[in-house]
């Protein structure tokens, strides 16, 4: 049985892959920072030597929401550069058959035409709110492309849109917008205070449920077609505002009447609409989880975890 090594295995997407792993005939190995420190090349190579993976799904990184990116610029740059370098180099040195590395739609140029496609990645600077993280991720794409061009390594970069689901980081300050809102609404209702959304709620985003993304990643891994960089996203028509997301969350908690917006906070990038045309051409139709169902599942998971702590 062939082995798939998943870095960042304890995170949002790693857990989603773990959830569906029994549907696939591979030996999955999920590793986290508790197992190996990927900031160190020797430890990364030791991991590859131990598991001898046939395939690698590289999800590990230093990640967070808007405010973590704004307040931890050096960490977001240096840690991601080091982790990505060590994993990509090791995948080449240990003759991995295929590697899938995870980018993010927030690394595309701030000033661009919409919808964004894969060829626009390096057409201009990213939004200044997350530029260090963005440039580190862009270097990951360049690194993979260089190995592919010089050594014919099958290194593929995937670019998911905003991911959410069970096992997310629900930290109020450093989590991404959707899980942070789920946590914030839970506390607001518990304390009988307004559910306050930072910013105007007007920015637009595309969201993908983590289990949908896990299935798409394994479809990409198993495809025989040559791919350099591919966006994994719902369609342009499924773009929603932060306000719409907040209202879906509040409705699940039966707390819609207590929503308020604090416009003293930055909205960040207004929109970053991407096209999934390349994906649909590759795999055909794919049924995505609706925002309502995905949010309901995620809130149920989060609440169950909170109740277990009590």
The residues that are catalytic are: 133
Say which residues have a Cβ less than 8 Å from residue 201's Cβ, sequence separation at least 6.
241, 242, 243, 246, 261
Structure tokens at 91: 């995948």
CA dihedral 256, 260, 263, 269 (to 10 degrees): -20
3-state helix, strand and coil shares in percent for the chain, rounded to the nearest 5 = 50, 15, 35
Helix (H) or strand (E) holding 232: strand 229-232
Radius of gyration (C-alpha) of the chain in whole angstroms? 19
Cα 184 to Cα 187: distance, rounded to the nearest angstrom:
5
Instruction: Give the Cα separation of 237 and 310 in Å (integer).
Output: 41
Among 285, 269, 65, 272, which Cα is nearest to 177's?
Answer: 65
Backbone angles phi, psi at 59, to 5 degrees: -115, -10
Contacts of 119 (CB under 8 A, 6+ apart): none
CA distance linking residue 219 with residue 35, whole number of Å: 27
């Amino acid at each position: 049985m062939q082995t798939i090594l998943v870095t960042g295995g304890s995170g949002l997407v790693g857990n989603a892959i773990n959830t569906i792993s029994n549907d696939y005939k591979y030996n999955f190995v999920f590793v986290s920072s508790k197992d190996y420190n990927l900031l160190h090349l020797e430890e990364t190579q030791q991991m590859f030597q131990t598991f001898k993976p046939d395939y690698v799904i590289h999800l590990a990184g230093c990640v967070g929401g808007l405010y973590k990116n704004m307040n931890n610029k050096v960490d977001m740059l240096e840690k991601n550069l080091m982790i990505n370098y060590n994993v990509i180099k090791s995948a080449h040195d240990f003759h991995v058959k295929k590697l899938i590395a995870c980018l993010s739609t927030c690394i595309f140029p701030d000033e661009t035409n919409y919808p964004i496609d894969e060829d626009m990645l390096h057409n201009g600077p990213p939004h200044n709110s997350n530029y260090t993280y963005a440039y580190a991720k862009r270097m990951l794409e360049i690194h993979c492309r260089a190995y592919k061009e010089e050594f014919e390594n099958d290194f593929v970069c995937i670019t998911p849109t905003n991911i959410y689901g069970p096992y997310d980081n629900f930290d109020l300050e450093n989590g991404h917008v959707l899980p942070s809102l789920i946590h914030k609404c839970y506390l607001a209702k518990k304390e009988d205070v307004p559910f306050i959304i930072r910013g105007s709620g007007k920015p637009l985003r595309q969201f993908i449920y983590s289990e949908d993304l896990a299935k798409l990643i394994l479809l990409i891994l198993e495809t025989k077609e040559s791919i350099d960089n591919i966006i994994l996203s719902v369609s342009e028509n499924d773009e929603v505002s932060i306000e719409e997301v907040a209202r879906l969350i509040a409705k699940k908690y039966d707390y819609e009447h207590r929503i308020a917006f604090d416009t003293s906070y930055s909205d960040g990038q207004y929109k970053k609409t991407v096209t999934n045309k390349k994906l649909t051409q590759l795999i055909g139709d794919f049924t995505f989880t609706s925002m309502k169902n995905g949010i309901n599942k995620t809130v149920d998971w989060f609440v169950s975890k909170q109740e277990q702590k009590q």
